[in-house]
Every structure is written in C-alpha cells, then in structure tokens.
Structure 1
Amino acid sequence: MESYFIENKLSELQPQMEIIADDIGTNGYSSTRLSELGFIIKAYDLHSKEMDAFTDQSSLSRKERKLNLPFTEEDIQQAIKPYVSKILSGGQVAIITNLEVFGGDSILIGQPIRSEGHLIGGLFLIKLVSDYSSAQTGFYFTIILTASLALILTLYIIYRVIRSMINPILDMTSSSEAMARGEYGVRVQETGYGELGDLARSLNILTSQLEQNHQASLKLEQVRRDYVANVTHELRTPLASIRAMSETLCDNMLVDEEGKQRFYHSILHESLSLQRLINDMLELSRLQSGSSAIQKVNTSPAQLMERLSTRFTVLAEDMDIRFTITENAYHMPDFFGHEDRIEQVFTILLDNAFKFTEPEGKVTIDANWNDTCIYLSVTDTGMGIDMEDLPYVFERFYKSDKSHAGPGTGLGLSLAKEILTQLNESISVEATGTGTRFIFTLHRSIKS
C-alpha cells in the first residue's frame, strides 16, 4: 500500500510539472506553491545555472530562498546530477529512488523546458518519501477503519445468517438427546428455512410417533400385567376350592355319603367353571389373532329368535324373571352376518342380564332398523352399572364388583365385542336408570 500511495503521488505530480515547464518556456516564469508544501523545485538553464522562474518566490531574496530550503544547493545539484544530461537532451525522468545526499527514498521528477520548440533548460522536483508519513498514516487509518467496519458488518451478517441455521440444528440436537433419554414430549421450532424447516417438521413427526408408540407400549405392558393378575385371580379361587375339597375327601374326613356327594358336585362345578374360563380365553385369543375366520351370509332371524325364546323362557321362569322378545325383534329384516356368532352374542348378553336381574325383574330383546342397519337391544332391570364403570365393561375380566367375587369369568362382554368387531359391527352400553341396555348393530341383507 505504501508503494501504491507513493506511485499515485508520482503520477499526480508529473502532469503538474509538465504544465509548469510549459509556462516557463512560454512566459519565462510560472506560478506554483509546491515549494511552500515542502517540495524542492528548481529550474536550470543549459549551463546548469538556476533560473529565476517562479513568481511566488520573486519577493524573496536569493539568500532567504536558500534559507527556506531543507538542503544546500550543492546537495540538490549532486542529487539531480545523474539525470541532468537526460533532461537537457529532451528526455523526462519520473522515478522513486534512493538519494544518498537526502538520506532516503525520494520522488524525483525531471522535465525539459522548451521555448518556441528550442530546449532552454530543465525543471526538477524532489520530495522525500518520508515527508508523506503523516499522510500515509491518515491513509492507512482510513483504510484500516473502513476495512474494520466492513469486516464487522460482514461478520454481523454472517452471524445472523449462521445463527438462523445453527439454532435449529442445536434445538434438533437437544431434542434428539432428549428422545435418547426417553423424553418424547419435546418439540423443536419449525422456523428454519428450506431443508432445515423440513427436517424440523420431520423430527417433530418422528417425536410424536415415538411418543404414541411409547404410550401404547406402556398401555400394553399395563394390559399384560392386568391380564396376568386377572387370570391368576380367576384361576386361584376354583383351584384352591378343588384342592381343599380333594384333600378333605382324601383324608376321609367326611364319613356320610351325602357330604361326599356335595363335595363331588362342588368339585365338578369348579371344574366346569375352569373349563368355561379356559374356553372363553382361547376363543377370545383366536378371534383377536384372526385365526378364526367368520363367513358372513344373508340370514333370516326367525329361527334365531325361536331358539332364544325356548332356551331362556325356561330359565326366566325358574328365576321368576319376565323375559320378553318384542314383535319388532321377531319380525326384523334379514341381516348379513353369521347366525351362530350372533346367537353367541345374544347368549352372552342374556346370561349377563339374567345374572344381575332380581326376581320379578324384566329382560327384553327389542329391535328397530333403517335402510342399512338393524339396531338390536338387550335391556334388563337389574342393579345397573355405575357411570364411571361404563367405559370399561368390554375390557377383559371386567366385573362390576371390584372384588371379582361375582359369578362369571369376566370375559363374556369382551368376547361379544370381539365377535361383532370381526363382523364389522359395533356394540355399546348405556345406563337406563332402572337397569342396563346393550345395543349392537347388524347390517341388513345384501340383495342379489
């Protein structure tokens, strides 16, 4: 930069020297203030004698002009001596050279003086490079300040741009680390640009799915634990009873035949309960695994209703319960389903209804329909179901009595729901105020 600065000054001064030389050649003098600015400027004739050619110095005596010069006349002539012959032969000099008499690098410009085409002398200008130190310092300061401001501005812009890229990446890194720790509730801001925004959205989707899978896994684990606990509970009671009665019989603690027969009947009853529980579990497992295919066909409900009436009317009379199948149920349209499976659903719901209905109560089968569906209901006037228990009645081993001491396996309603699910039907339960009503759907027959 120093070299550029000095060469720039040299290129600025050379045209000025040409103008001054032309003025001297034309008028015999020229006006310049370069000497007042620290320049050594001299004009010499062909005999190497100094010419009095500057009007701004005319008011000064030669002695005073010599006093204003930083160097002696001899020093100046010695400095320009190597270049005089070139100038007086019509050439030009514009160089930066080391002038030993001045003690450092200097600008030296030599220009021939012509009058009416004839060479009459030479014009010389000398300026120490060191005299520009203050100007160079200002120039350097300006350059450094400008460069610093440009650098700061550039760094600020880069910082703002990079921050908009780095912050989402840091957020995603933090979110990934949280997911690795099993914390799936974290989310990242979806404010990144372009691919970063897409990546943030994808990461949030992944986090949501992992959270859902985690919750499902926890729920499945809880279901597994409840299932094992319920199975254990359901098996423990009849097995303990069978074992106790068997030990009593084996130890000959009963001597009367009537007591033995009572124990034999109890063992048989508990064995049948165990068999029913195991059968229900296997049936539910087959349905849920899809290994038990259900073929749907167009079915007439008349024979189904007759069988239900014959089977449960006797039971109702024994339990002093009024059992009714409405005219709508007897004359409902044909449905598209599986007759045996629908009879199984009715059996489960009616067994449940009779079990919880007191003597002189009522159990009713009713039906209504529209163009596409038949809505069948089984209503009882039993003890009812608490509102807080309604959402859970179709879960496996659900019993309204929390001690699980009531009759039944607790799998019946789960089995009924699974059968209807396999048939693409639905089932629901509601409290009537005086009992419970189960409602399930059947699609009407498909016309060929």
Structure 2
Amino acid sequence: MWRSVVGKLWLTIIGLVSVVLIVLVLLLIQFLDQFFENENERSLTTLSQELAQMIEDSGSGQSLQTRRHVIEMAEELLPAYNTQMVVLTAEGNGASYDYFTTAQEESLGPIEQLLKRSDLKEVFEGKEKKVRGTLDVEVEGGGETEETPPFEGDVLAVAEPIRSEGDVIGAIVLYQSLSQLEHTTNRTKELVFYAALIGIFLTTFFAFFLSSRVTQPLLKMKQAANEMAEGNFDIRVPARTHDEIGELAGTFNRMGAQLEESIHALSQEKEQLSSVLKSMTDAVITVNADGHVIITNPPADHLLEVWSESGEDQRQLNYQPLPKPLVDSFNQVVETEQEYATDLFVHGRTWAVVMTPLYNRDQVRGAVAVLRDVTEERRMDKLRKDFVANVSHELRTPLAMLQGYSEALVDDIAQSPEDRKELATIIHDETLRMGRLVKELLDLARMESGSIPFKPREVVVQDLGHRIIRKFHSYATENGVHLEAAFPEQPLYGWLDEDGMEQVLTNLIDNAIRHTPENGTVTLEMDKSSDGGVVIRVRDTGTGIPVQDLPFIFERFYKADKARTRGGSGTGLGLSIAKHIVEEHGGNISVESKEGKGTVFTIRLPDRNGEE
C-alpha cells in the first residue's frame, strides 16, 4: 500500500499536517506559558500597587501601626486571590527591617527565607522588586547560597515600597505559589495535545478520503490500460469530474479510440499483406539479422521443405534456418546493404532470386527474398535463341545455293541446256525445301498458339493406315525398302483428327524410310490398347538413333547424324510437330531405338472419353 499513489499521497498529507500541528502546538504551549506568567505577574503587580497606595492613603506619619486596620482588611481579602501578604517596616533608613503579618506561624518559615534575600533590600530604596522561581537563601558566615523552594513549586513575589511624605517607611510583599499556574498550564497543554490528536485523526480520515477520491480514477485508468495491453481496445474510462483528472480521463479515452483505429488499420493492412503473400505464386521469405526465417508464404513453405537437407519439416522448429542456396545471397545483401539479384540452380530447377535488405532505422535488421521458378522461362528463352539460330542456319544454306546457281545462270556460266536445266532443278529443289521449312514453321507456331483447330471424329484407323501405305509405296520401292502393314482384321475405331494424324504418320514413315538402308523393312502397326484406346507403331530396321540423341529428338531443329540419312536431310521440325499433334489428341508419343537394329515410335491415343 505504501508504494501506491494512495499511500504516498496519504503519507504526504499526514506528514505535512503533523509537522504543522506539532509546530503550532509547541508555539501555542510556549505562548500560553508566557501569557499565563505575564498575566499572573501583571495581576499581582497591579494588586500590590493598589494595596500599597491604599496603605499610604490610610494614615499619616512614619509608622505603619496607624495603618494596621487597612493592612488587616487587605489580608482578609487576599485569600480570594490565592495570595499572601507580608508588610515590612524599615529601621535605620533601610539598613534593617522587620515584618508583621496575620498569617499563621507555621506558614511563616518559607516567608523568612524569602525575606532573607539580599536583593529584597532594594525595595527600601523605592524600587519595585519582583522575584520568581527558586529562591537563593544566604547562609550566614560563608556567603554561599543554596536553592530551596519555599513552597511546593516555584513562587512569584512582588515587593512594592510604601511611602509617607516622600520617604519609604516600609514595603508590602505579595507572594503566591505558581503551582496553581502550572496546573492550569498543564491542563491547557493537555487540551491542546488532545486537540492536536483529534486534528491528526480527522486529517488522516480526510486525507485518506481525498487521496481515494483522487486515485480512484487513476486506478480505473490503470485497469483500462492493462486491458488495452491484453488487446481489449474497446474499454473506456468514465469522466465524472471536470478537473484535471476528468480531462486526463477524456484524453485517455481519445487515446484509446485512436489506438483502436490504428490497430484496426494495422490489422487490415496485415490481413491484406497476408492475403497478398498467400495469393502470390512466387515464394517470399523474410529473414532476420541472424539468418533465421521468420515469415513465409505457402509456396515458400513448400520450397523450404523441398530444400531441407534433413528432409524434416522445418516449421516444427523454433526457428527455420535459411537454406544453404540462399546463404551467399543473404551475406551479400548484409555486406553491401543493397538489393541483390541472381539465378540459383537447385534440384534441377532454375530459380530467379531478388533479395532486398530490411532496415531498422540505419541498421539492416534482415532481408526479404522473392524466388520465382524460371526453369520454363529460361528453357523457352533458350529455345527461342536456338530457334532463331537454327532458322538462320537452315535458310542460309538454301539461300546461298539459290544465289550461287542463279548468278551462274545470269552470267551464262552454264553453256549447255543440260547444265542450265540441272542448275534450274537445284534451284527448284532448294525452293521447295525452303517452302517446306516455312510451312512447317508456320504450322508449329499455329499449333503452339492454338490457332489450328483440331476436329476429332470417330474414324476407322485401318483406312488411315492403308492410305499412308499407298502414299509411300512408290517412295519405299525406289529406295529398296519393304513397306509393310500390320492391322487387325476387325475394324479399329479411333477418336482423332484424321488430317492431323495423317501428318504425324507421314513424318514418321518418311523418316523411317530415309533412315533404313536397302532391303530393310518399315512396318506400320495398329492395334487396340488394353484401356480401349489405339496404339500405333512405326517400326524400322534402320540405322537406329544414338542413345545420347534420344532425349532431344522431339525438340525443334534437332537432327541425328546426317551420315546415317539416305538422301537429303529433313528440316528438323517433323518430330516436334508430330509430338504437338499427338498431345493435342490427349495422347503421347515415345521412342525406342538401338543403333544398328532399328527404331520404334509408339503413339498412344485415348478413347473417345479422353482416357488413354
């Protein structure tokens, strides 16, 4: 309690009031002591002066005996004032004196001690003498004094000279004990002390009441602040007064409202950022200054799981370490404090990484990395570059031949008609080759863009096969190749685009004949697959395809060793076009080959429901 505001405020008020009351009590007691003493001394002095004047006026001559009746009258009145009286008579001009009084003999002992005071003789010189406190009594022969109180307590005595015709004929001594005065003073002190205690008690009560009234709104604001710290920003503090505390409560409520709006805005922004991160296809990883992953989106979670060397889910750990492929990029960003971009090759994939530093004032507190799988983009870019290079190469050769032979014709280098015909034939063949190249390029581009509509329908596959056999029969015979067909007797129905599939088989049969030596065999097989689809195979006994070339034969402009090809080589686009057409049918095309034994191309087409 003493550490609280109520306790501190209460102790402060009590301390201040207590100090003030103690000082006031001490001053009041000192004032009362002085006041009672001065008042008692003044009263006794006035009384002595009046009695002395009354005695002087009551008779004449140098003797006090003529005034005795007045003195006796005064002695009868003095007990009412708690005062006693002694009348002194002067002898020998004050060298010695005597006294007489009507007081009892047993009470005169202390008076005699009082009268023995040497300074009392000064009253016979006409001086008013006042004596208070403990009396000094002379001891005869030694001149030493000892302190002996004549009564119980101190005594106050006033000696007033009595004059007659200008001479001092005696003195009146009024004296009284100060015990009554001390008793009155002590009683007054007790009353003052009790009043001070009552004042402190009341001050304690009102101080506690006041401090509670002051601190109650503060305690409510403290409770509201604790609730705000726990996330309850709807809490408000009632402002019941219009003083500073009421204004503080109003300010606190406004702060709470603004804080609630700010937190709501931050929450919305956080939700928006979270939604953006979750909807991004790119992986986003936020790293702190220690290189630990602190924020990720779903693609990044999957990426971290794949890149994890241990194979365990890193999200179960207290922190996720940065994958090793990103460590060098993170160190580069931290050292240079600049954005860093690079490509990473991890697990056979290409990742474009852009890492940007995050700042806390002027210091780098981490980095955010955006990773995108650009494997396909890089492959397409490479294909584009290779395509341009291959097209340039494929067109440069026939163009050079066209230019050379046409110049020969123009310059009349060929003299005979046979030579000119031969040159014209070569120019014609190269023109046809360029036309085929351009046509196949346009077909491939249109297929990739979806511009060529495929119109599949149910056809008898054997009819398509017989048509292909008839088309290439003469060409195979000219090259000494046996062209055979292996079809089932029952009609085999397939759901396909007849023109597109004829183009595929034409490319495959043409390649098979060109790569098969004389007396070799090219076979076109058709059959029904186990799942209801169609399987078409083009089998030859040709030179075969090297193992290192098999993964690339369906790419554009890829050609096997030209030495293995009879006659002119193709454009390198036939198999790429065939693959596109087959995939448009929902099927697939594969190849098996052994050098010196032959090659088998297999086409698998799904049934009408689209299942292979």
Whether TM exceeds 0.5 here: the answer is yes
Distance 2:564 2:196 in 1: 119
RMSD: 4.4
Q: What amino acid does structure 2 have at the position aligned with 1:408?
A: G
- Cα pair distance change 1:83/1:306, threshold 3 Å: farther
What secondary structure, in the 3-state scheme, does the structure 2 residue paired with 1:248 have?
helix
- Cα pair distance change 1:390/1:88, threshold 3 Å: same
Question: Which moves more between the two structures, 224-233 or 359-368?
Answer: 359-368
- Cα pair distance change 1:425/1:83, threshold 3 Å: farther
Q: What amino acid does structure 2 have at the position aligned with 1:421?
A: E
C-alpha contact 1:245 1:263 (8 A) present in aligned 2: yes
Question: Which moves more between the two structures, 414-423 or 436-445?
Answer: 436-445
C-alpha contact 2:340 2:354 (8 A) present in aligned 1: no
Alignment correspondent of 1:317: 477
What secondary structure, in the 3-state scheme, does the structure 2 residue paired with 1:91 have?
helix
Is 1:308 the counterpart of 2:471? The answer is no
What secondary structure, in the 3-state scheme, does the structure 1 residue paired with 2:341 have?
coil
Superposed, which structure 2 residues align to 1:207-226 within 5 Å? 207-208=370-371, 210=372, 212=373, 214-226=374-386
Alignment correspondent of 1:341: 500
Alignment correspondent of 1:408: 570
Match of 1:232 among 392, 405, 408: 392
C-alpha contact 2:544 2:593 (8 A) present in aligned 1: yes
Q: What amino acid does structure 2 have at the position aligned with 1:283?
A: D
Is 1:444 the counterpart of 2:444? The answer is no
What secondary structure, in the 3-state scheme, does the structure 1 residue paired with 2:523 have?
strand
Which runs of 5 or more structure 2 residues have no equivalent in the other structure?
19-31, 35-184, 201-286, 297-328, 345-352, 356-365
Alignment correspondent of 1:91: 194
C-alpha contact 1:381 1:435 (8 A) present in aligned 2: yes
Is 1:265 the counterpart of 2:425? The answer is yes
Q: What amino acid does structure 2 have at the position aligned with 1:291?
A: S
C-alpha contact 1:86 1:92 (8 A) present in aligned 2: no
Alignment correspondent of 2:152: none
Alignment correspondent of 1:354: 513
Q: CA deviation at 1:94?
A: 6.5
Q: CA deviation at 1:372?
A: 2.1
Q: CA deviation at 1:315?
A: 1.7
What secondary structure, in the 3-state scheme, does the structure 2 residue paired with 1:281 have?
helix
Distance 2:186 2:410 in 1: 143
What secondary structure, in the 3-state scheme, does the structure 2 residue paired with 1:182 have?
strand
C-alpha contact 1:299 1:445 (8 A) present in aligned 2: no
Distance 2:564 2:577 in 1: 18
Q: What amino acid does structure 2 have at the position aligned with 1:438?
A: F
Identify, as 1 or 2, the structure richer in strand: 2
Identity of aligned residues (%): 32
Q: What amino acid does structure 1 have at the position aligned with 2:501?
A: I
C-alpha contact 1:87 1:93 (8 A) present in aligned 2: no
Superposed, which structure 2 residues align to 1:44-443 within 5 Å? 85-89=188-192, 91=194, 93=196, 181-183=340-342, 207-208=370-371, 210=372, 212=373, 214-328=374-488, 331=490, 333-368=492-527, 369-401=529-561, 407-432=569-594, 434-443=597-606
Q: CA deviation at 1:219?
A: 2.1
C-alpha contact 1:302 1:331 (8 A) present in aligned 2: no
Q: What amino acid does structure 1 have at the position aligned with 2:506?
A: T
Q: CA deviation at 1:353?
A: 0.6
| TM-score normalised according to structure 2 size | 0.42
Q: CA deviation at 1:183?
A: 3.6
- Cα pair distance change 1:267/1:182, threshold 3 Å: same
- Cα pair distance change 1:333/1:432, threshold 3 Å: farther
Superposed, which structure 2 residues align to 1:11-30 within 5 Å? none
Question: Which moves more between the two structures, 331-340 or 166-175?
Answer: 166-175
Q: What amino acid does structure 2 have at the position aligned with 1:410?
A: G
Distance 2:459 2:407 in 1: 52
Distance 1:165 1:282 in 2: 52
What secondary structure, in the 3-state scheme, does the structure 2 residue paired with 1:323 have?
strand
Q: What amino acid does structure 2 have at the position aligned with 1:439?
A: T
| TM-score normalised according to structure 1 size | 0.57
- Bigger RCO (CA 8 Å, 6+ sep): 1
Q: CA deviation at 1:88?
A: 4.3
Distance 2:590 2:193 in 1: 119
C-alpha contact 1:298 1:446 (8 A) present in aligned 2: no
Q: Radius of gyration: which is bigger?
A: 2
Q: What amino acid does structure 2 have at the position aligned with 1:367?
A: M
Distance 2:377 2:564 in 1: 27
C-alpha contact 2:562 2:569 (8 A) present in aligned 1: no
- Cα pair distance change 1:252/1:337, threshold 3 Å: same
Distance 2:292 2:197 in 1: 61
Q: Deviations over 1:100-149 (max 9, x none)?
A: xxxxxxxxx9xxxxxxxxxxxxxxxxxxxxxxxxxxxxxxxxxxxxxxxx
What secondary structure, in the 3-state scheme, does the structure 2 residue paired with 1:336 have?
strand
Distance 1:237 1:404 in 2: 20
- Cα pair distance change 1:281/1:295, threshold 3 Å: same
What secondary structure, in the 3-state scheme, does the structure 2 residue paired with 1:218 have?
helix
- Cα pair distance change 1:165/1:302, threshold 3 Å: closer
Q: What amino acid does structure 2 have at the position aligned with 1:336?
A: W
